[in-house]
Structure formats: structure tokens, C-alpha cells
């Protein structure tokens, strides 16, 4: 398979060599250095040799190319797809070009030349994507499968290793770790038994290492591009890619073929895919969160490969992978990659450095690929730097960034936390104290070719936490479709981030690791996003949120956990919006406000109304171009005022 | 002789009229909220309430306020001197006590706080509501 290059023109070396930088007629008053300083959005550190990215405000010409030292050809970064042209223009994807350079060309020199061109608005070095640092733990005790569990707990599906997936159902089994915490999980059991297990019309793109699409526990849930005829060397569906059947490989040197056999591969993408949608109830292996019930109703997995092991693709490749997901039907992208925490400290800094990737993310968000939500949901790992802020792009205020906890429902020793982290999920922690520490990781599908013949193994990392949230979000979409519900993208993201169970109650004292190191848990308080993702709570929000009953004629504090999860007292609130109609209907005495996570309200009249509460999903401030921070979330709260109310909200 | 005795019995051994059941018996059964009469309107919020008063003094309340699914609450009730009181299974008292009036298939509960009058109709609570309600 080959990505179809959209070569505008190829300039001969002779032409390029004849181009004298000092003779540029386009910007004679500028020095190349000052022009680059104005237009470059990042530095050459970590960039690939051989190409630079340019954002043109006009169609590039042969003269433009000739003015750039070492340039040999130019191509659009993003293949244009018929029918998507308007969207591509709206997000400027049609203006990004990749200029390919002769071997040995200094990319800074080429960038300086490009910056002198009036038609070039931005210059971007083509930085390599980074996978979160591996969190391998050496010298683990020999693994022992957890002992028999309470009868009935795991009777839902017949997958034999289901009971080792504590992230789904955590019974507090001490054979996993000494401090295992019952309920320290995603609370998905009742969702599976009562509400939904998936929907094959929902496509989830795994932007990661390649997914082993022949894996026995994944194959039935792989997305298949039915418009493409395998192996005929033709772009049958005219989407810009030849023979892309289950996705596409963007790593240089692989011709688009999804690869998992290269010795550099770790199985990372296959592992994250399994957490999202390994096939359930098929009598083998493990379960996936949105993997269906064995009747073919799991969500579908699309593989957008940007890594072969730690060898990644560039910003351009990542951007193309994200656009591919949007153009080919994905409603969610699960992204267990990003820059190290601290590489950028504001949304603006990231956008300026990875403009092409950011534009692709916006394009994905704006693409509606299902009837339930009018946009794409982006979920990233927060990073494994054990730093008190998230890595980008996950830290962006419009995407969901996931921190990691272990079976003790405490922060994993490696996880990032704090600003930019929006929610937490099981990611495993093999440094917990216990005799069976491997079991404290996350069990999922892996590549037998790279794992001594095993199809399953334990990994740990925010990379593993991220697909837990993706899987829950996929279940949410499936359930919304089932109910015929529709949400805006912001509404759906708010529902995800506010569907959290309280984790701060675990942030007391210390957590001692197997090597004797100690985590001071107060450092993590209010910093694991809004709390632990809770699948049941998300489904309840999708069904609809009930009204709150308040007492007419008295001042009172109203608990907001129904709306913002059991971590509601820990969230930072930005204000309450009160429509005049509500003010009048309830006869509000003064303005409602929020303190210590509760709503203060004083209705003087029997009636009903709605207010909108604005909060921060993770962190104290909403992220901005100037500072890293959380996601802005808003919930409409319905209030019924009666002369009396029961403490538990009952009608009588 | 036998015939005569039977005839006498037929006119003199009339079945006794069963006593009118008291409110504590009449309230047993399942009811659906039909109207809420208060000093003001409750506005446009959906209020769906079903009550099941069971023998033995237990009750189950199913309610859906606004959006979402039904929530169920259990507890105990008592009716004395026409006043209905109750506690939820959490041990907390109802938000109000009520005077009770039952005529035919209508149950009227008048709150002792603010005088809210809620009228319920005898009904059979749909099984799906019972099955799918979220226990609080």
C-alpha cells in the first residue's frame, strides 16, 4: 500500500542550485533569520531531516519552491478527499504543504528560505511524535493468576481471563496487590448486563503502533474498509490511499502496510485496541470495554499506525493519521502518544509548534461520523513523566487527557497529574506492594510474534488508561444511538469528564511502592482530573439527568454529584448562569453560587427552572493559549422548588 | 321440617355487612400521581411518580423528575388518625406528613407543609418501570 503523493511539481537539482538565497526578490528587506523567527512555529530540535512543513496563504508556485535551498518537491500534507473539500478549507488543511529536501540539506536553512516567501504564512519543522516513556518494571515475581472469585461476579462473559481485568471489575482481590480496592474500576458491569456492550456502527481509531488485525480476540471487531478491494493496487474508494483495508501505516519505510512483525514493535497498539474492543463472550482471552456480547455487536477498531516500536512518524504523519480517521468514519480517536510533559506549557505553545497536527485535531472534532454526537471525540494519555501537569497534545483544553491509577485506586507511580489532566482510569501499577505485581498491570491483547507466542500480556502506563476512557466513551455513543439521543460535542465531552467517581478520598497519607519509595498522596489531591471514569454514570447522563428538589423559602446547599460525579466537591467551578425566567419562576433571593462544590440557592416560590453551571474538568483553570489547564465543562441543572423535600430527593 | 327450617334461615340468617375497610387497608395497592395542586405551578418539569403501599407497612416509590430513568425508594409507612407518615430505608423521615383521603380509586395526599395536594389514581405499575428503576 502506498499513500498517494500529491506532487505539485518537481524541481531539478540544477534549478535549485541556481537559486541564490541572497537574490530573493520576495523579501529583500528581511534577513532569512528574522523572517524565520517571525514565521517559524517551532524549532528544529527533534525534527526529521528531509522535509519541512509550510502553511501557504496562496497556491505555491514553482518559483516558491525554487527559492528554498535543497527543495526537490512539494506535496500537500493532507490528501484531499472528494466531498471533504469544504471542511479541509475551513480548517486550513488545504494550505499545509510538505517540502521534501535533498539529502544533506540543512532544514534550518531551508526553513529560513521559506520564511522569506510572502506566500508562506507559517514554517513548521516536522517534529517526530513521541510515545509515552515505557514504564517497564524489572525483576517482577512470577505471575500467578488470581484465585477464584465470588461466584457471579464474572458470569457476564465467558472469556477465561476476564477475572484478571481488575480495571473492569475490581473486587479488592488481595492476590493482585495488598492494597487492592473494591470498586477501583470503571464500573462497567451493570452497563454490560443492562444497557449496552457496543455498536458496530461506531468506529474507534487507534492511533498508535499497528493493531494486529488478525489477532483471534480482535479480528471480529476490526473495521474493514469495504469500499477498498484488497491488494489490487488501486485507490478504489478514492480516499487518497491504496489498499487501506483496516487502516493505514504512516511510519516511513512501510508503504502503508500495517505492521506488527517488525522486531521494534512492542504490541502497544494491539494492547490499547484490546482494552477498547477485544471481542467479548467468544470463549477466548480477555474482554474489551465496548467489545460487544459475542453476537457481532462490538464497536469497530481502525488502525492508524504512527509507530513501529519507538520509531514514530512526524507531525505531518500524525496529522494525516488523524485526518484519515475522520475521513473514514471514526467517531473516537484513542491516542496513547504525545510530547513529554514540560515540552510545552500552554495550549498556544503547542499550537505554534505542531500547527498541522492541531489543525487535523480540529478537523477531526468537526467531523460527525455518527448520529449521536455531532463531532469526533479525542482522547489522549496524559503521559508517564510523573510530573504535575499533562503532556501535549493531551493537555489541550479541547481534548480529554487521562491519568492512571492502579488496583489500589491510587495514582500510579509514573502518572502525570494536575493541570491538563481531565480524568483518571485504570492504567496499572506494577510497583504496588504485593507478591503478584504483574497482575497489577492491565491485561489485554498483544502480538504473539513479539511476545514469546503469547496473545495476552500485562502492560502499564497512561497509554493503558487512555483506552479505558475511549472504551467507555464508545459505550456511551453506542447507548446514545440505542436511545436515539443526540448531543453536541461539548455536551458529550462534558458528560464524559463529569462521569467520574471520587478518587480524592483515597488521597490521604502515603503510598509505599515495592522499591520502598513513597508517594505523598496529598500531592495528587484534586489533580487526577475530575476523578475515575465511571461507565454507569455516563450512561445515566445519556439517559438524562433528573431534577434536583429544593425547599421553597429556605436557604440551602445543594449537592451536585448527580451532575458532576462524586468528585463534584473537588471540582473548580467558574460560575452559575441564571436565566431571568428561572429567577422569576423560583423567586430567587440573591444569585445562586457555588462554594465547596455545592450550589447555594434560596428559592422563595414553588416552581421550576434551569441554571447552567460552568466548571473546570481537571485543574483549577481552563487551559488557554497562555497557560496549561483543564477543560471547560458546563451542565444544565434542573431545579424543582417545593414546600418540602426529603433529604434523599424522594418525592414523599 | 327440613324445608321449613331452611326457609326460615333464608330470611333470618342474612350475611352481615362487611365493615368499611379503614384507610390503612384502602391505601394498600399501587398508585400513580395524576395531579399536583400547589399554591403555584411546578412549571414545565416532568414529574412521574408511582407509589406502592404494601401490607406489612412497607412501600416502594418510583419517581422520574425531569429527565432520565425512574429512581426507586423503599421504606416504611404508618397511617393513624388519618395521618400518613413514613421513613425511607435510610432511616430518614419523608419530607412531609400527609392527611389521607381515599374515594373509589383516587388517593389524595395533602401535605402538612404548605398544603400541597397530590392526587393519585389506582393503577398497576408497569413491570418495566419496576425492573429498570435505579434503586436509591
Q: How far apart are CA B37 and CA B117, in angstroms?
A: 5
For CA atoms A478, A479, A484, A486, the dihedral sign is negative
CB contact under 8 A, B38 and A652: no
> Is the CB of B61 less than 8 angstroms away from the CB of A647?
no
- Among candidates A194, A546, A642 on the partner chain, residue whose Cβ is nearest the Cβ of B116: A642
Q: How far apart are CA A289 and CA A301, in angstroms?
A: 12
Q: Checking DSSP bridges between strand A607-617 and strand B29-37, what pairing results, if any?
A: unpaired
- Phi, psi at A370, each rounded to 5°: -150, 170
| Cβ–Cβ under 8 Å, residues A199 and A293 | no
Residue A609 is nearest to which of B43, B115, B134, comparing CB atoms? Answer: B43
Q: CA A587 to CA A551: how far, in whole Å?
A: 12
- Contact check, Cβ <8 Å, A640/B45: yes
Residue B57, domain extent: 21-135
Q: What is the pLDDT of residues A72-97, one digit of tens each?
A: 999 999 999 999 999 999 999 999 99
Question: How are the residues of chain B apportioned to helix, strand and coil, as percentages rounded to the nearest 5?
Answer: 15, 45, 40
To 5 degrees, how large is the angle CA A547–CA A553–CA A554?
A: 80
Which pLDDT score is estimated for B1?
Answer: 43
Q: What is the average pLDDT across B26-40?
A: 81
Distance separating alpha carbons of residues A440 and A460, to the nearest angstrom = 8
- Report whether pLDDT(A435) > 80: no
In a domain, B71, yes or no: yes
CB contact under 8 A, A546 and B71: yes
Q: Which residue of chain A is at minimal alpha-carbon distance from B73?
A: A650
User: What residues of chain A lie within 8 A of the CB of B130, using their CB?
Assistant: none
Contact flag B88-A648 (C-beta cutoff 8 Å): yes
pLDDT at A504 over 70: yes
State yes or no: pLDDT of A284 exceeds 50. Answer: yes
A644 in contact with B, Cβ within 8 Å: yes
Distance set, CA A208 to CA A298, A454, A467, A571, A648 (Å): 20, 20, 11, 31, 46
- At B61-92, the pLDDT tens digits run 999 888 888 999 999 999 998 999 999 999 99
- At residue A179, the pLDDT reads 92
- C-alpha distance from A203 to closest chain B C-alpha (Å): 26
pLDDT band per the 50, 70, 90 thresholds, residue B16: low
Q: Do A648 and B61 touch (CB under 8 A)?
A: no
What H or E segment, with its residue span, contains residue A123? Answer: strand A120-127
Residue A276 has pLDDT above 80, yes or no: yes
* pLDDT, tens digit (0-9, with 9 covering 90-100), for A318-353: 999 999 999 999 999 999 888 888 888 999 999 988
Report helix, strand or coil for B103.
strand
For residue A644, the chain B residues in CB contact (below 8 A) are 95-96, 111, 113-114, 116
β-pairing, B106-111 vs B98-103, is antiparallel
- Smallest CA–CA distance, residue A297 to chain B, in Å, is 22
| CB-CB neighbors (< 8 A) of B113 in chain A | 643-644
Could you give the 3-state DSSP secondary structure of residue A53?
A: strand
Residue A566 — pLDDT band, cuts 50, 70, 90? confident
Q: What is the 3-state secondary structure of A297-328?
A: CCCEEEEEEEEECCEECEHHHHHHHHHHHHHC
Straight-line distance from the first to the last Cα atom of chain B, in angstroms, rounded to the nearest whole number = 69
pLDDT tens across B108-128, in order?
A: 999 999 888 999 999 999 999
> What CATH fold (topology level) applies to the domain A10-127?
Alpha-Beta Plaits (3.30.70)
Kindly state whether B64 is in contact with chain A, defined as any CB-CB distance less than 8 angstroms: yes
Q: Which range has the worst mean pLDDT, A39-48, A393-402, A625-634, B94-103?
A: A39-48
Q: Is A296 exposed, middle or buried (0-12, 13-18, 19+ CB in 10 A)?
A: exposed
Does any CB of chain A come closer than 8 Å to the CB of residue B131?
no
Closest CA to A526 of A558, A480, A482, A573: A573
Q: What is the pLDDT of residues A17-48, one digit of tens each?
A: 333 333 333 444 557 667 666 766 666 667 77
Write down the domain spans for chain A.
Answer: 10-127, 150-541, 545-642
Nearest by CB: B64 against A546, A605, A652:
A546
CATH of A545-642, one of 3.30.720.210, 2.60.40.10, 3.30.479.30, 4.10.80.40: 2.60.40.10
Cβ within 8 Å, pair A650-B39: no
The per-residue DSSP string of A459-525 comes to E-SHHHHHHHHHHHHHHHHHHHHHHT--B-HHHHHHHHHH-EE--GGG-SSEEE-TTS-EEEGGGGT
A484 at B interface, C-beta within 8 A:
no
Closest by CA position to A196, among listed A506, A483, A575, A468: A483
pLDDT on residue A8: 36
Instruction: Identify the pLDDT of residue A41.
Output: 64
The answer to whether domain A10-127 and domain A545-642 are alike in fold is no
pLDDT of residue A30: 58
Q: Do B113 and A643 touch (CB under 8 A)?
A: yes
* For testing contact with chain A, the best of B32, B42, B43 (most A CBs within 10 A): B43
* Interface predicted TM-score (ipTM) of this complex, two decimals: 0.84
Chain B CB contacts of A479 under 8 Å are: none
Q: Does A190 touch chain B (CB under 8 A)?
A: no
Distance from CA of A505 to the nearest CA of B (A): 22
Contacts of A546 in chain B (CB under 8 A): 64-68, 71
Q: Do A648 and B45 touch (CB under 8 A)?
A: no
B49 neighbourhood in chain A, CB within 8 Å: 651
CB contact under 8 A, A552 and B49: no
Burial (Cβ within 10 Å: 0-12, 13-18, ≥19) of residue A416: buried
Task: Write down the pLDDT at residue B34.
Answer: 86
CA of B104, closest CA in chain A: separation in Å?
A: 22
Scan residues 3-32 of B and list those with Cβ closer than 8 Å to A: none
**Mean pLDDT for all residues in chain A:** 89
B10 within domain boundaries:
no
Average confidence (pLDDT) over A511-531: 94
pLDDT(A2) > 80:
no
Q: Is the pLDDT of residue B2 over 50?
A: no
Q: What pLDDT does residue A153 have?
A: 76
Residue A437's SS3 state is helix
Asked whether residue B99 is assigned to any structural domain, the reply reads yes
Which pLDDT score is estimated for A338? 87
**Orientation angle between helical segments A462-483 and A535-543, nearest 10 degrees:** 30
pLDDT score for B7? 45
Q: Is residue B32 part of a domain?
A: yes
Average pLDDT over residues A106-132: 86
Residue among B40, B69, B90 whose CB faces A648 most closely: B90
CB contact under 8 A, B43 and A642: no
| Burial status of residue A155 (CB atoms within 10 A of its CB: 0-12, 13-18, 19 or more) | exposed
In a domain, B56, yes or no: yes
Residue in A187, A640, A651 to test binding to B, most B beta-carbons within 10 Å:
A651
Q: What is the pLDDT averaged over residues A404-426? A: 96
CB-closest option in A546, A605, A648 to B68: A546
CA distance A583 to A602: 10
* Subunit contact A606:B49, Cβ cutoff 8 A: no
| Residues A599-622 pLDDT 10s | 999 999 888 888 999 999 888 899
Q: Do A546 and B116 touch (CB under 8 A)?
A: no
Residue-level pLDDT at A437: 87
CA distance B93 to B77: 10
Please determine, for residue A5, whether its predicted confidence score (pLDDT) is greater than 70.
no
Under 8 Å between Cβ of A408 and A431: no
Whether residue B9 is contained in a domain is answered as no
Q: Cα A132 to the chain's mean position, in Å? A: 13
Distances (CA, A) of A630 to A342, A522, A527, A564, A568: 16, 19, 10, 15, 15
Report CB contact under 8 Å: B92, A644.
no
State which residue of chain A sits closest to B131, comparing Cα positions: A194
Q: Is A652 on the interface with B (CB under 8 A)?
A: yes
User: Any chain A CB within 8 A of the CB of B135?
Assistant: no
Per-residue pLDDT band at A147 (split at 50, 70, 90): low
pLDDT in tens, A170-223: 999 988 889 999 999 999 999 999 999 999 999 999 999 999 999 999 999 999
Q: Considering only residues 561 to 620 of chain A, which have any Cβ-Cβ distance to chain B shorter than 8 Å?
A: 585, 605-609
Of A545, A585, A645, the CB nearest to B68: A545
In this model, does residue A146 exceed pLDDT 80? no
| DSSP structure class, residue A406 | -
Cβ(A525)–Cβ(A490) below 8 Å: no
Residue A127 pLDDT grade (very low, low, confident, very high; cuts 50, 70, 90): confident
pLDDT given for residue B61 in this prediction: 96
CB A434 within 8 A of CB A384: no
Do A648 and B136 count as a contact with CB atoms less than 8 A apart? yes
Per the structure, the count of domains in chain B is 1
Considering CB atoms only, which of B43, B116, B134 is closest to A643? B116
Among the ranges given (A145-159, A569-583, B69-83), the one the predictor scored with the smallest mean pLDDT: A145-159
Residue in B38, B68, B95 nearest the CB of A652: B95
User: CB atoms < 10 A from the CB of A16, how many?
Assistant: 19
* pLDDT tens digits, A134-145: 566 666 667 777
Q: What is the DSSP letter of A162?
A: G
Contact of A123 with A39, CB cutoff 8 Å: yes
Give the percent of chain B with pLDDT over 70.
Answer: 79
In this complex, do A642 and B66 lie within 8 Å of one another by their Cβ atoms?
A: no
Report the gap between the CA of A213 and the closest CA in chain B (Å): 38
Is A585 within 8 Å of B43 when comparing Cβ atoms? yes
A130/B117: higher pLDDT = B117
Q: What is the CATH number of the domain that holds B106?
A: 2.40.128.280
H or E stretch including A284?
none
Interface residue B35 vs chain A (CB under 8 A): no
The CATH code that applies to domain A150-541 is 3.40.50.200
pLDDT for A32: 66
Q: Which residues of B are less than 8 Å from A543 in CB distance?
A: 67-69
A586 touches A605 (CB < 8 A): yes
Specify if B91 maps to a domain. yes
With CA atoms as reference, report the closest residue to A392 among A628, A206, A620. Answer: A628
CB contact under 8 A, A651 and B63: yes
Amino acid at each position: 500500500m502506498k499513500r498517494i503523493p500529491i506532487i505539485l511539481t518537481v524541481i531539478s537539482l540544477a534549478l535549485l542550485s541556481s537559486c541564490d538565497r541572497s537574490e530573493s526578490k520576495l523579501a529583500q528587506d528581511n534577513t532569512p533569520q528574522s523572517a524565520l523567527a517571525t514565521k517559524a512555529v517551532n524549532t528544529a530540535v527533534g525534527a526529521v531531516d528531509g522535509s519541512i512543513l509550510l502553511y501557504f496563504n496562496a497556491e505555491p508556485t514553482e518559483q516558491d519552491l525554487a527559492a528554498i535551498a535543497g527543495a526537490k518537491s512539494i506535496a500537500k500534507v493532507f490528501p484531499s478527499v472528494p466531498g471533504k473539500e469544504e471542511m479541509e478549507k475551513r480548517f486550513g488543511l488545504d494550505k499545509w504543504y510538505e517540502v521534501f529536501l535533498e539529502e544533506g540539506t540543512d532544514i534550518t536553512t531551508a526553513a529560513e528560505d521559506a520564511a522569506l516567501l510572502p506566500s508562506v504564512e507559517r514554517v513548521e519543522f516536522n517534529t517526530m511524535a513521541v510515545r509515552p516513556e515505557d514504564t517497564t518494571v524489572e525483576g517482577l515475581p512470577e505471575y500467578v493468576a488470581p484465585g477464584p472469585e465470588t461466584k457471579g461476579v464474572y458470569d457476564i462473559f465467558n472469556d477465561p481471563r476476564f477475572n484478571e481485568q481488575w480495571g473492569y471489575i475490581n473486587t479488592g482481590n488481595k492476590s493482585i496487590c495488598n492494597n487492592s480496592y473494591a470498586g477501583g474500576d470503571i464500573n462497567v458491569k451493570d452497563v454490560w448486563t443492562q444497557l449496552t456492550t457496543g455498536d458496530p456502527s461506531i468506529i474507534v481509531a487507534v492511533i498508535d503502533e499497528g493493531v494486529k488485525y488478525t489477532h483471534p480476540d480482535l479480528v471480529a471487531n476490526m473495521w474493514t474498509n469495504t469500499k477498498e478491494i484488497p491488494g489490487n493496487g488501486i485507490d478504489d474508494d478514492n480516499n487518497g490511499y491504496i489498499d487501506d483495508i483496516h487502516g493505514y501505516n504512516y511510519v516511513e519505510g512501510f508503504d502503508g502496510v500495517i505492521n506488527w512483525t517488525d522486531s521494534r514493535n512492542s504490541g502497544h497498539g494491539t494492547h490499547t485496541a484490546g482494552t477498547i474492543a477485544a471481542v467479548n463472550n467468544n470463549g477466548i482471552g480477555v474482554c474489551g470495554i465496548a467489545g460487544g456480547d459475542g453476537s457481532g455487536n462490538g464497536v469497530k477498531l481502525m488502525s492508524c499506525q504512527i509507530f513501529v516500536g519507538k520509531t514514530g512518524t512526524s507531525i505531518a504523519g500524525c496529522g494525516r493519521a488523524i485526518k484519515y480517521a475522520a475521513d473514514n468514519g471514526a467517531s473516537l480517536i484513542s491516542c496513547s502518544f504525545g510530547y513529554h510533559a514540560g515540552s510545552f506549557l500552554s495550549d498556544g505553545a503547542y499550537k505554534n509548534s505542531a500547527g498541522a497536527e492541531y489543525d487535523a485535531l480540529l478537523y477531526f472534532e468537526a467531523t460527525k461520523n455518527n448520529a449521536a454526537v455531532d463531532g469526533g471525540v479525542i482522547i489522549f494519555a496524559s503521559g508517564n513523566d510523573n510530573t504535575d501537569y499533562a503532556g501535549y497534545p493531551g493537555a489541550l483544553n479541547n481534548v480529554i487527557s487521562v491519568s492512571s491509577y492502579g488496583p489500589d485506586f491510587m495514582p500510579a507511580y509514573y502518572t502525570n497529574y494536575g493541570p491538563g489532566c481531565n480524568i483518571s482510569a485504570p492504567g496499572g501499577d506494577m510497583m504496588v506492594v504485593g507478591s503478584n505485581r504483574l497482575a497489577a498491570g492491565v491485561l489485554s491483547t498483544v502480538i504473539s510474534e513479539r511476545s514469546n507466542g503469547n496473545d495476552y500480556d500485562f502492560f502499564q502506563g497512561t497509554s493503558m488508561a487512555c483506552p479505558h476512557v475511549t472504551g467507555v466513551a464508545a459505550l456511551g455513543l453506542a447507548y446514545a444511538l440505542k436511545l436515539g439521543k443526540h448531543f453536541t460535542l461539548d455536551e458529550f465531552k462534558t458528560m464524559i469528564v463529569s462521569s467520574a467517581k471520587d478518587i480524592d478520598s483515597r488521597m490521604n497519607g502515603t503510598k509505599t511502592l515495592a522499591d520502598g519509595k513513597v508517594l505523598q498522596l496529598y500531592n495528587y489531591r484534586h489533580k487526577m482530573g475530575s476523578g475515575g471514569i465511571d461507565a454507569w454514570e455516563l450512561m445515566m447522563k445519556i439517559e438524562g439527568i433528573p431534577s434536583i428538589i429544593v425547599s421553597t423559602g429556605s436557604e440551602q446547599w445543594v449537592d451536585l454529584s448527580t451532575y458532576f460525579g462524586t468528585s463534584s466537591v473537588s471540582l473548580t467551578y467558574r460560575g452559575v448562569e441564571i436565566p431571568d425566567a428561572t429567577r422569576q419562576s423560583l423567586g430567587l433571593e440573591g444569585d445562586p453560587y457555588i462554594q465547596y462544590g455545592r450550589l447555594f440557592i434560596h428559592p422563595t416560590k414553588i416552581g421550576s427552572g434551569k441554571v447552567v453551571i460552568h466548571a473546570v474538568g481537571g485543574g483549577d483553570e481552563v487551559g488557554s493559549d497562555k497557560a496549561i489547564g483543564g477543560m471547560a465543562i458546563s451542565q444544565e441543572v434542573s431545579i424543582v422548588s417545593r414546600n418540602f423535600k426529603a433529604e434523599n430527593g424522594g418525592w414523599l | 321440617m327440613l324445608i321449613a327450617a331452611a326457609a326460615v334461615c333464608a330470611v333470618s340468617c342474612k350475611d352481615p355487612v362487611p365493615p368499611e375497610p379503614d384507610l390503612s387497608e384502602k391505601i394498600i395497592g399501587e398508585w400513580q400521581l395524576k395531579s399536583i395542586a400547589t399554591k403555584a405551578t411546578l412549571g414545565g418539569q416532568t414529574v412521574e411518580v408511582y407509589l406502592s403501599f404494601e401490607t406489612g407497612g412497607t412501600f416502594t416509590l418510583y419517581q422520574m423528575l425531569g429527565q432520565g430513568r425512574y429512581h426507586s425508594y423503599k421504606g416504611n409507612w404508618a397511617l393513624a388518625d388519618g395521618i400518613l407518615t413514613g421513613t425511607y430505608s435510610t432511616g430518614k423521615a419523608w419530607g412531609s406528613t400527609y392527611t389521607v383521603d381515599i374515594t373509589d380509586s383516587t388517593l389524595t395526599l395533602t401535605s402538612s407543609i404548605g398544603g400541597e395536594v397530590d392526587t393519585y389514581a389506582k393503577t398497576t405499575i408497569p413491570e418495566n418501570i419496576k425492573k429498570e428503576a435505579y434503586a436509591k
